[in-house]
Amino acid sequence: MLISASRGYKELPTLTAISLDQINRALSSRLTPWTDLATAATPSTSTARPTRPPSQSPSLPPPFQTSSPHHPGLPPSPRGRYPFILYPSSFIRACPNSNATHRTHHKLVSIHRKTRFNLPRQGLRKMSTLTAITSSTSPLASAFKKQKVAIIGSGNWGSAIARIAGNNALKLSDIFEYEVSMYVYEEDFNGKPLTQVINELHENPKYLPGIKLPENVVAYPSAAKAAEGATLLVFVLPHQFIRSVCTQLKGQINPEAYAISMIKGVEVKDGEISIFADVIEETLGVECAALSGANIANEVAEDKFSETTIGHREGEKGKEAAELFFKLFDTPTFKVGMIEDVAGVSLCGALKNVVAIAAGFTDGLGWGDNAKAAIMRIGLLEMKRFSEEFFKGVKPETFTETSAGVADLITTCFGGRNRKCAEAFVKTGKSFEVLEKELLNGQKLQGSETAREIHEFLKARGKVDDYPLFKAVYSIAYEGIDAHDLTSKL
């Protein structure tokens, strides 16, 4: 720390080291009496420090206002010795003869030491320079700006991720606000609105029965209300609804907010294809990352171990967004990895559902595990080739080294709703639309829809035959081709 004094200012430093954890605890309490910090630190060889009776709690008055020509906003000081602590965007003074801790906000960087000065009143007022030199990128830099979280979606996966976010918001109360809002499409459940049921039971009995949600997760029937004031937006809707929800939110979102897409699908419009992280970013004007991985929602909700991957944008804002979402989601049983590849992570999450439909066909046909393994190998190659051909910046390692790639493909081809419905499609002869209603309890089947969208996109470019597995899935699902022909042209 460097203190520069002038115009008669007398410096009498006595340094006492204070750990980062101690400062964090003080900041999170928003009450930072220097005596409380000092008792936890190594004492210096100074005279006795003033103390406050334990029963008296400090209070925070409004920021000081002063007409000092040298340092506007700096409080005048009586005579005597006073401790000063500099934090990011904060200047704090604790008076020995007062039970209050006084705070005024200045644009200062953080220091990790406490210094006591003998400051004459006029010396303080005339002090011309006070500079703390340290890292301006300290972890404390965001301590005064808590993040407000909104989950946009409340299905099986949305409710599971809301549970994780709610629990982490409680544990990391110095980073996140208490309430985690969750947008719930309003529908009737046993004669009551679903939002009311969720808020009363702290459970989503329709889409995630038997799993308790933390009490700080609050359901709202309006997406705009749930997103009000949010700085972290988590989109976890069926991809068929994302465009209409974004339209509702347009112009009502904090422009400094960060978003993350957990949507497993693509949008094909006028012959062009987009990932939903781009749709969200372009519609709402906020930085948007993507999350995908080997994450069957029920297993995640039951705290069974799994991994996931955040794909983030390049640059400092992209990294900052990813780090915040990492803190929001990472737990000992839900391990979060990060990679600079939004497109790759998004496309893995969308295209693996098409491959899972093919895997379900093999189950329905009774072809065994060898056939399914072959379908998965061919499917992974087509996923990777498609992504690299039509999207820029896709990283090969996303497909082979992250949970979003091969791990999610394995999980989806052996479990999950797409494989389940595809198996039933072969065995029953019913359409996917009928099976969706019969088997998914209101959830949406995404693999068959994505297969149709990918086919339309490839057809517009004359490239359908370049992706034989994708073509076969579409032909069986929509053109009446016999499932036994799945591998005939692979």
Q: What is the CATH number of the domain that holds 269?
A: 3.40.50.720
pLDDT tens digit sequence for 411-451: 999 998 999 999 999 999 999 999 999 999 878 888 999 99
Report the pLDDT value the prediction gives residue 307, as an integer from 0 to 100. 98
Q: Are residues 70 and 171 in the same domain?
A: no
* Domain that includes residue 377, residue range: 346-485
Q: Are residues 189 and 269 in the same domain?
A: yes
pLDDT at 114 over 80: no
| Token reading at 439 | 């088997």
pLDDT tens digit sequence for 263-281: 999 999 988 999 999 999 9
pLDDT at 58 over 70: no
Q: Are residues 239 and 254 in the same domain?
A: yes
pLDDT band at 193 (very low <50, low <70, confident <90, very high): very high
Q: Which residue, 126, 141, 156, sits at the end of a domain?
A: 141
pLDDT tens digit sequence for 367-390: 999 999 999 999 999 999 999 999
Higher-confidence residue: 30 or 260? 260
Report the pLDDT value the prediction gives residue 144, as an integer from 0 to 100. 55
Q: Are residues 335 and 457 in the same domain?
A: no
Q: Are residues 367 and 335 in the same domain?
A: no
pTM passes above 0.75: no
Top mean-pLDDT range of 51-65, 99-113, 140-154, 210-224: 210-224
CA gyration radius, the chain: 28
Q: Is residue 79 part of a domain?
A: yes
Report the pLDDT value the prediction gives residue 304, as an integer from 0 to 100. 98
Q: What is the DSSP letter of 322?
A: H
Q: What is the DSSP letter of 483?
A: G
pLDDT at 168 over 80: yes
Q: Are residues 199 and 284 in the same domain?
A: yes
Q: Are residues 76 and 158 in the same domain?
A: no
The burial of 159, by beta-carbon neighbours within 10 Å (0-12 exposed, 13-18 middle, 19 or more buried), is given as buried
Q: Are residues 121 and 212 in the same domain?
A: no
Q: What is the DSSP letter of 331?
A: B
pLDDT band at 342 (very low <50, low <70, confident <90, very high): very high
Residue with the two structure tokens 């998965």? 376
Q: Is residue 2 part of a domain?
A: no
Q: Are residues 259 and 382 in the same domain?
A: no
Q: Is residue 1 part of a domain?
A: no
Report the pLDDT value the prediction gives residue 489, as an integer from 0 to 100. 85
Q: Which residue, 300, 324, 340, sits at the end of a domain?
A: 340
Cβ distance 409 to 375 under 8 Å? Answer: no
Instruction: Supply the mean pLDDT for the chain.
Output: 79
pLDDT tens digit sequence for 225-266: 999 999 999 999 988 899 999 999 999 999 999 999 999 999
Q: How many domains does the chain divide into?
A: 3
pLDDT at 25 over 80: no
Report the pLDDT value the prediction gives residue 441, as an integer from 0 to 100. 83
Q: Is residue 269 part of a domain?
A: yes
Report the pLDDT value the prediction gives residue 139, as an integer from 0 to 100. 41
Helix (H) or strand (E) segment spanning residue 470: helix 468-478
Q: Known catalytic residue: 212? A: no
Q: What is the percent of the chain with per-residue pLDDT over 90, rounded to a whole number? A: 67
Choice among 114, 148, 264, 352 that is catalytic: 352
Q: Is residue 176 part of a domain?
A: yes
Q: Which residue, 340, 372, 399, sits at the end of a domain?
A: 340
Q: Is residue 8 part of a domain?
A: no
pLDDT at 52 over 80: no
Quick one: which of 447, 448, 411, 440 has its CA closest to 207? 440
Which are the contacts of 333, defined by CB distance < 8 A and separation ≥ 6? 303, 304, 305, 306
Which of 61-65, 100-104, 233-237, 275-279 comes out lowest in average pLDDT? Answer: 100-104
Q: Are residues 464 and 423 in the same domain?
A: yes
Report the pLDDT value the prediction gives residue 475, as an integer from 0 to 100. 97
pLDDT at 460 over 60: yes
Q: How far apart are CA 17 and CA 223, in angstroms?
A: 47
Q: Are residues 470 and 398 in the same domain?
A: yes
Q: Is residue 7 part of a domain?
A: no
Report the pLDDT value the prediction gives residue 453, as an integer from 0 to 100. 95
Q: Are residues 402 and 335 in the same domain?
A: no
Q: Is residue 5 part of a domain?
A: no
